[in-house]
Amino acid sequence: MDRLQAMIVFVRVLEAGSFSGAARVLDVGQPAVSKTVAQLEQRLKVKLLLRSTHGLTPTEAGLRFYERARIAIQEADEAELAARGAGGGLSGRLRISAATTFARLHIIPHLPQFLEAHPGLDVDMVLDDRMIDLIAEGIDISLRMGTLADTSAVARKLASSRCSVLATTEYLTRKGTPQVPADLADHETIVYSQLNNVWKFRREGTEVSVLVHGRARFSAAEGIRAAVLADMGLTIASDWMFAPELANGRVLRLLESWSLPDTDLWAVFPTGRLATAKARMFAKFVESIMKGS
């Protein structure tokens, strides 16, 4: 039995909370995961997991083994990276989570460059606008935008983007251009259902709040983008979301004398685990992309 591989399997089982979850992360069959854990327990002559209808619970020995195994895996990754030379030769699997629209516009087009630089690396990208459990999903790094709800999260800010009221020229030709925030009450607004309906504007120390009532609400940024480009109405969004259309003039910024809070991009790492060398290198790569955009 490969000791390091057995450690990796056990750590993934504990972090995923199930054999099936670990199998999904490791891209192997569930029987192989169960067999590896059983062989590990046999070799150590100690019970690591308690199995019940409610799931898996680590024993005291299992928790102690998990902490040491997790550190051993991370140190092995670091040792390989050091042997290959700083920044070169990343290998294995890197699981990334990111918002769908942001990844499609700003990350995926650059992935060939990252993969070419690290031919031994495989990338799994989980695209979802919702906050997901990084530990349960086996995520190494998550790219998240906005304010981080979890203040205990291990995170690093990578970039910031201007946020504006945006609409297509076609919509504005048809409905007119708002001159002050209060004018938004007379317009069709496209609302992101994960945020509230109050848009807050600032100018020269004055803050104005506008309650909008959009007829169209969307649970994902991709829906917001598609609705705006279908000339359905105006919205607030970061420049990142409409970068191509802002560049070619199809979408315009409105109420530019008023400001909205910037949108921050964060690299978030699983709490309780050291960020892997692969995750740190990818965070630097994304940071360089955004600085050049």
CATH code for position 34: 1.10.10.10
Mean pLDDT over 119-125 rounds to 90
Domain CATH number, residue 140: 3.40.190.10
pLDDT band at 1 (very low <50, low <70, confident <90, very high): low
Percentage of the chain exceeding pLDDT 70: 93
**Does one domain contain both 253 and 217?**
yes
Residue 52, CA distances (Å) to 13, 18, 55, 155 in order = 15, 11, 5, 35
pTM, rounded to two decimals: 0.69
**Does one domain contain both 257 and 198?**
yes
**Pairing mode, strands 235-238 and 55-58:** unpaired
**Does one domain contain both 183 and 255?**
yes
**Does one domain contain both 25 and 169?**
no
pLDDT band at 250 (very low <50, low <70, confident <90, very high): very high
CA distance 34 to 37: 5
**Does one domain contain both 256 and 168?**
yes
**Containing structural domain, residue 277:** 88-158+263-293
**Does one domain contain both 25 and 100?**
no
User: Which one, of 145, 159, 141, 129, lies nearest residue 271 by Cα?
Assistant: 141
State how many domains the chain has.
Answer: 3
What is the maximum alpha-carbon separation in the chain?
Answer: 75
Is the per-residue pLDDT at 227 higher than 60? yes
**Does one domain contain both 132 and 113?**
yes
CA distance 183 to 167: 14
Is the per-residue pLDDT at 173 higher than 60? yes
**Does one domain contain both 3 and 73?**
yes
**Does one domain contain both 151 and 269?**
yes
